[in-house]
Amino acid sequence: MALPVSLKEVAGELQGLPTEATAYINRRTGKLSFLSDEMKREVEQAEEASDVSGWMADLYPDLNELLESDDWLELPLAREINDYSIMRNFCKSRSDHDESITLLRAIKGRGAFRRFKQLAHELDVIDEWYAYELAAYKQIAADWLDAREIPYVDE
C-alpha cells in the first residue's frame, strides 16, 4: 500500500482485528501490518532473531522495526471500538419504527450480535447492515487518519 492509503482497507483492518492483536500503519508508506499479542510479546522480549520462534526469525527485523520505528503507528484497538454502539445506532436509524423496535429488542443481553445478525437476515436488511457497519468503520478510520495527518482516499 502507498500513500494516500485506502480508507476502505484501513477500515477493513480495524473491522477484522481480533481483540488479541494490534494493527499498525506506516505513516510514510501507508503499509498496514498487524501482530498478535503473543507475537508482539515474543518480539519485545527478544534481543535478536535467534531469540524468537523458528518461522518468526526470518521476520524478526521487520517485526522489530514495526515496534521500534516512529514511522509505525498503532491503529485503534478492537476493544477501543464500540461495535455494540454501531449496531444499536443502526437499529435506531431504521425508518420503519416497528422494525427498529424489533431490532433493538434483539440486541438486549447475551448473544446480542448473533441474534441481531439472524434477525437482520430474516428482515432482509443484512446488506444494509453491512454497508452501515463499513461506513461506521470508515468514519472511525478517517477520524483517526485525519488526526495524524495521514492522507487517504475513499474509493
**Digit-coded pLDDT (tens) for 101-151:** 999 999 999 999 999 999 999 999 999 999 999 999 999 999 999 999 999
* Burial zone of 106 (CB within 10 Å; 0-12 exposed, 13-18 middle, 19+ buried): buried
Please give the Cα distance from 134 to 144 (Å, whole number). Answer: 15
29-74: per-residue pLDDT in tens?
Answer: 999 998 888 888 888 887 766 666 777 777 777 888 888 899 999 9
Report the 10 Å Cβ neighbour count for 143: 11
Mean pLDDT of 66-91: 91
Q: Where are the domains of the chain?
A: 18-74, 82-133
Quick check: 140 and 14 in contact, CB under 8 A? Answer: yes
Predicted confidence at residue 49, as pLDDT, reads 65
pTM: 0.85
Please give the Cα distance from 16 to 134 (Å, whole number). Answer: 11
